[in-house]
A = this chain, B = another copy of it.
């Protein structure tokens, strides 16, 4: 927790806030903070600033919050991801929030097991929790928006062209394609397939709406590793 994230409605009119939950426990046990210490604080979907500890005991901490700077800029990317296995989904949600992705589309593809859509991880509250963990890690305040598409074809044929108009469009796919570029400045949509990859039909459909395949080489990376690797290669110069 590199940032204490709070909701605007938790803040009292005098700019103080009292915490008793996992944030309090973290401040007490990990930061080992004392009265007078200043911690990094952010308001969800709002500004960053500091929280000065006015009072701390074994039950609660009271902070005086001063907000004074904007959150870090988002990455200029829309991510389209075949729905990963639940355990990978968890870390992927944290990673994309930490790295500054603000729009994630989770997609059914041929090689996605349909049962993955039943995972409790996709419940709104749990998704929210993972995204908050990511924002706390990356010191950002702005929650990514998630969209679910349980049918590949209508999404790609009817929605994707419009969604990605004027964008640089890349799809990571094994094969004799160019390597992933580095240092891209244009708004980009990046599509990443499931374990086992997209099937030919799916790649053709993506190419038909303007996606250019890029390869990651002979090595196969897990989705939770491939996503941050691709994002940082494309946009590390903007970080």
Contact = CB atoms under 8 A, between A and B. Distances in A.
Given A99-B221, A137-B222, A138-B221, A216 B239 contact: yes
Interface in A206-223: 215-222
24 contacts: A2-B220, A72-B217, A72-B219, A95-B225, A98-B219, A98-B221, A99-B221, A138-B220, A139-B218, A139-B220, A179-B239, A182-B183, A182-B236, A182-B237, A215-B239, A216-B232, A216-B236, A216-B239, A217-B236, A221-B228, A225-B228, A229-B233, A232-B232, A233-B236
Contacts of A215: 239
Q: Interface range on chain A: under 10, 10 to 19, 20 to 34, or 35 or more?
A: 20 to 34
Nearest to A99: B219
Contacts of A142: none
A230 interface: yes
Contacts of A100: 219
A72 B217 CA distance: 9
A179 B228 contact: no
Given A220-B2, A225-B95, A236 B138 contact: no
A112 to B, nearest CB: 15
A102 to B, nearest CB: 13
A171 interface: no
B72 A137 contact: no
Contacts of A218: 72, 139, 239
A218 B180 CA distance: 24
